[in-house]
Amino acid sequence: MLHGFDEEVWQPIHINQDYFLLDGQHRLSLACRTGMKYIDVIMEKKKDPVESKRVRAEIKRKERIEKTLYIGL
Specify the pLDDT at position 4.
Answer: 62
Q: Give the DSSP H or E segment for 58.
A: helix 49-72
pLDDT of residue 41: 92
> Domain residue spans in the chain?
7-72
Q: How far apart are the first and last CA of the chain?
A: 21
Contact call for residues 22 and 48 (beta carbons, < 8 A)? no
Whether the Cβ atoms of residue 13 and residue 27 lie closer than 8 Å to each other: yes
Share of the chain above pLDDT 90, in %: 1
Would you say residue 72 has pLDDT above 60? no
